[in-house]
Amino acid sequence: MTRQANLQIAILGIGAMGCLFGSKLKDHADIYVLGNWPEQIEALRRDGLEVISPHGTSTHHRLNVTPDIKTVPASDVVLVLVKSYQTVRAARQAAQILKPEGVAITLQNGLGNLEVLAQEVGPARAVMGVTAQGATVLGPGRLRHAGDGPTHLARVTGQEPILSSISELFKRVGLATTLVDDADSLIWGKLAINAGINPLTALLKIPNGALVEDDLLARIMAGAAQEVAQIAAVRGVGLPYEDAAVRTAEVSRATAANRSSMLQDVDRGAPTEIDAISGAVVRAGAEAQVPTPINHFLWRLMKAQEAGQDRLNRQQFEKLATQRLEIP
């Protein structure tokens, strides 16, 4: 087993993605996972983490998990894997524990996370990343790795050596990773996929793969993703794939068993990232003068649900969507 003893990595977030990355990296670098979910911390300390693979096999892992930032050593790398609404706090934590020559990498959903991180750690130490890994928390201490997908990290001038080391480390542990030049492309490429999949799965409480099995839902998913692509085009941003609708459908199939992060939030009664995804698309569309009726529709429904209004059942949702949307 190869171990990079000198590479100290702090992971901010002990949900699905934080624990997944922790379980992958723990035997190859010095890993600390920081979070504040008491039940999860208790379970991880008592029993360790059970990870069920996409093939159904189960493995167990011991993680260095803590709620106390004072116990986290100075780190070469900070992976930010918290919800978008927690980014300000996480960015401040990253600034506290990051070594002067280190980098903080956001692998989050939504718009604006990189900018918040850069304000705290400095633009030269803030790195944009996206990952298509899928993971679902089954309960405290239990995780389903629902699907593999590529991870991309944007190059930052002056940080090429450490980013190359991180990329090689990720690949060594089975996380297919590529360094790319265009951070904006990564941001908007992932936003299109999130906008297509997350709100629909959360509203209807269905796994990702159910979207491609229903004609109406597949068209709504495609339309939401295409609205993002249209905004990106107006902004002069090229997406990291040719067709947003096609790519979103591919991700839906590849992570068919996964319950999206937004659906997991709904299941736990926690705040969602709807404002950083659909809401961000609506705001960006207004700035670019690009209509976003599908994202606006999904955003308003999720906001109504979060405000405590009755959840729409499948039939009610489909009737409302048919009435209010012109779906291609």
Which are the catalytic amino acids? 190
SS3 50: strand
SS3 145: strand
Q: How far does Cα 228 stand from its chain's mean position?
A: 17
DSSP assignment, residue 79? E
Q: Of 48, 44, 49, 108, which is closest to residue 81 (Cα–Cα)?
A: 108
Contacts of 41 (CB under 8 A, 6+ apart): 14, 35, 65, 66, 67
* DSSP H/E element including 1: none
Contacts of 241 (CB under 8 A, 6+ apart): 189, 247
Query: E-assigned strands of the chain?
Result: 4-12, 29-34, 49-52, 58-61, 65-66, 75-80, 98-106, 126-131, 134-139, 142-147, 151-154, 177-180
Q: What does the alpha-carbon distance between residue 281 and residue 286 come to, in Å, rounded to a whole number?
A: 9
- Bridge partners of 180? 154
Q: Between the CA of residue 277 and those of 134, 224, 305, what are the distances in Å?
A: 17, 11, 16
Residue 243 has a CB neighbour count (10 Å cut-off) of 14
Q: Dihedral through CA 104, CA 107, CA 113, CA 115, nearest 10?
A: 40
Q: Between the CA of residue 224 and those of 53, 231, 250, 322, what are the distances in Å?
A: 30, 11, 15, 15
Contacts of 20 (CB under 8 A, 6+ apart): 51, 133, 135, 143, 145
